[in-house]
Amino acid sequence: MELKKILETQSEASWKKYIPTLSIDCVIFGFYETSLQVLTVKMKDQEAWALPGGYVQKDENVDDAAIRILKDRTGTENVYLQQFYTFGNLKRSESAFEAYDDSIWNKQRFVSIGYYALADFSKVNLIIDKYSTACEWHSIDNLPSFMMDHRTIFDKALLTLREQLNHHPIGYNLLPEKFTMPELQKLYEIILGKKLNRGNFYRKILRYDILTKLDESRKGGAHKAPDLYSFDLEKYNNALKEGLKGSW
Amino acid sequence: MELKKILETQSEASWKKYIPTLSIDCVIFGFYETSLQVLTVKMKDQEAWALPGGYVQKDENVDDAAIRILKDRTGTENVYLQQFYTFGNLKRSESAFEAYDDSIWNKQRFVSIGYYALADFSKVNLIIDKYSTACEWHSIDNLPSFMMDHRTIFDKALLTLREQLNHHPIGYNLLPEKFTMPELQKLYEIILGKKLNRGNFYRKILRYDILTKLDESRKGGAHKAPDLYSFDLEKYNNALKEGLKGSW
């Protein structure tokens, strides 16, 4: 079915199924090797990339809609998912639509609730649905052009990670279960947007007493095999309740 | 005009004027003497109190709607106002409405965007409009019963202040221009929900180098007149950009 036809058929069904005005956009982060990645989709007939998104069903909590959208796009559940901001500028869609039209679902004015997700990179399936032509990870160091205000939504999500780093289990949810100290430092550097002194970082993170040093090291590579660590989840969660002391 | 009539007349006008589904609720904080206060209203025909709120006009940014609502309720502009969370539970209105009805403005399902405001207590006018019977400050230590999920909205706003204390100019916006050190400490204690050691607090806040000690002291009272301080706004804003170092 061609896209125009799909959209017309969908419009009527959408008015019945979803509450109007509201959309959800998801900023799905994953950590791969030493790079923070974000999941992007390309919609049919669009040049620019988009964040994965969707609508809220009439009989559904907004949070549950976000969980459903995330699952539809990545095939994963039980992912750390947090609402972070709602985007309601009148002209957020200006480049995508000539004018708002209250009678056509896709042309109404949407206010979008932003959620960020911290996904396990290795477990995410990239699902291309009938409205899209591509679904890919992009390194946040090398982002493509986004449609509408999706770049603004992404920037706000990253800023939120930065502000919440001492209060939310961000490291735990982005890193694999076992990780090296350089990997943890790299993740902190990316989120904070600055280089950290290696010695200071090690001392500080160890003083928090939230890591367990494992009896194994990372095999392979020419250098001495680096030690592996994991989070002590109970101590980590307790420390986050108060907020990790100090800044980076 | 009786309330029922007002609501019927309003319903048709509201569908024309506002975007559906969305409301705004404002948690307006003010600091009075040594107590943090929140502005509450009582709607006609309601027992419980409510947060001041309103809707978003079709040709209006969501942020501008919040500014307008705040001005209508308090008569003040240029108030520090921040969106903090959007409340979208299906049953957030269960106690207020028997069932949602898409055809009546006031009975549709609303998703509400929460904004907190840091107001200058002495400059706020308490404005009672035609939908309400009272508009009052309440100390956050002694809150009344709230309608719908407004208590949840309040709790989230206070938690947000706590998390943002090192990144946003919260002290500056809640305190009068000139304040004493015990007043500043009290404000921090209320927001953080715990007592702070006086000596540690003084040392820490002075080390930030964000305060100016004034050549005057607070007159009146039996004790030695306490020194007055004000924020050095340039230094304060610079420090907040990085985040104040350390926790309280």
A242 interaction partners in chain B (CB closer than 8 Å): 247
Task: Decide if B167 touches A, using CB distance below 8 A.
Answer: yes
Sign of CA dihedral B228, B232, B237, B243: negative
- Token duo for residue A78: 């039980």
Q: For residue B21, with 0-12 CB atoms within 10 Å meaning exposed, 13-18 middle and 19 or more buried, which class applies?
A: buried
Asked whether the beta carbons of residue B56 and residue A88 sit closer than 8 angstroms, the reply is: yes
pLDDT higher than 80, residue A223: no
pLDDT higher than 90, residue A143: yes
CA distance B192 to chain A (A): 10
For every residue of B75-130, DSSP letters joined together read: S--S-EEEEEEEE--TTTTTTT-SS--TTSGGGS--EEEEEEEEE-GGG------T
Contacts of B159 (CB under 8 A, 6+ apart): none
Q: Residue B191, SS3? A: helix
The one-letter amino acid at A53:
G
Q: What pLDDT score does B95 carry?
A: 55
pLDDT band at A248 (very low <50, low <70, confident <90, very high): low
Asked whether the beta carbons of residue B246 and residue A243 sit closer than 8 angstroms, the reply is: no
Strand partners, B43: B132
Q: Residue A99, SS3? A: coil
Bridge-based pairing state of the strands B111-119 and B18-32:
parallel
Say which of B56, B85, B242 has its CB closest to residue A83: B85
Say which of A20, A63, A166 has its CB closest to residue B88: A63
Asked whether the beta carbons of residue B62 and residue A244 sit closer than 8 angstroms, the reply is: no
CA distance A173 to B42: 43
Residue pair A150/A51 in contact by the 8 Å Cβ criterion: yes
Q: What pLDDT score does A78 carry?
A: 85
Asked whether the beta carbons of residue B89 and residue A20 sit closer than 8 angstroms, the reply is: no
Task: Decide if B242 touches A, using CB distance below 8 A.
Answer: yes
Angle CA B27–B29–B33, to nearest 5: 160
Bridge-based pairing state of the strands A111-119 and A18-32:
parallel
Say which of A20, A61, A242 has its CB closest to residue B89: A61
pLDDT higher than 80, residue A4: no
Beta strand ranges found along chain A (DSSP E): 18-32, 35-43, 53-57, 80-87, 111-119, 132-139, 179-180, 211-217, 227-231
A111 interaction partners in chain B (CB closer than 8 Å): 19, 22, 56, 62
Q: What pLDDT score does A244 carry?
A: 80
In chain A, count H helices and then E strands: 7, 9
Asked whether the beta carbons of residue B90 and residue A242 sit closer than 8 angstroms, the reply is: no
Burial B29-68 (b: 16+ CB within 10 A, else e): bbbeeebbbbbbbbbeeeebbbbbbbbbeeebbbbebbbb
Residue with tokens 């940014």: B61
Q: Which of B209, B157, B165, B214 is nearest to B185 (CA)?
A: B165
Task: Decide if A58 touches B, using CB distance below 8 A.
Answer: yes
Answer left, alpha or beta for residue B221, where phi above 0 means left and psi between -120 and 50 means alpha. Answer: left
DSSP B61: -
Residue B198: alpha-carbon gap to chain centroid: 27
Query: ipTM of this model?
Result: 0.89
pLDDT higher than 50, residue A96: no
- Give Dmax (Cα) for chain B: 65
Segment A43-64 shows an average pLDDT of 94
User: Worst-scoring range by mean pLDDT, A157-161, A223-227, B1-5?
Assistant: B1-5
Q: What pLDDT score does A196 carry?
A: 94
Q: Which of B120, B147, B174 is nearest to B53 (CA)?
A: B147
Q: Residue A184, SS3? A: helix
B19 interaction partners in chain A (CB closer than 8 Å): 20-21, 109, 111
Residue with tokens 């989230």: B156
B166 interaction partners in chain A (CB closer than 8 Å): 247
Run means of pLDDT, 10 residues per run, chain B, 248 residues:
71 93 97 94 91 95 96 89 96 70 90 96 88 93 94 96 88 92 94 93 92 86 82 91 73
CA distance B205 to B248: 10
CA distance A164 to A151: 20
Task: Decide if A99 touches B, using CB distance below 8 A.
Answer: no
B20 interaction partners in chain A (CB closer than 8 Å): 19-21
CA distance A197 to A242: 25
Say which of A61, A113, A246 has its CB closest to residue B90: A61
Asked whether the beta carbons of residue A246 and residue B244 sit closer than 8 angstroms, the reply is: no
pLDDT band at A166 (very low <50, low <70, confident <90, very high): confident
**Interhelix angle B198-207/B181-192, nearest 10 degrees:** 100
Nearest residue on chain B to A167, alpha-carbon basis: B163
Q: What pLDDT score does A55 carry?
A: 96
Asked whether the beta carbons of residue B246 and residue A247 sit closer than 8 angstroms, the reply is: yes
Strand order in the sheet with A179-180: A179-180, A227-231, A211-217
Q: What pLDDT score does A217 carry?
A: 83
Task: Decide if A242 touches B, using CB distance below 8 A.
Answer: yes
Q: Which of B28, B52, B46, B25 is nearest to B38 (CA)?
A: B28
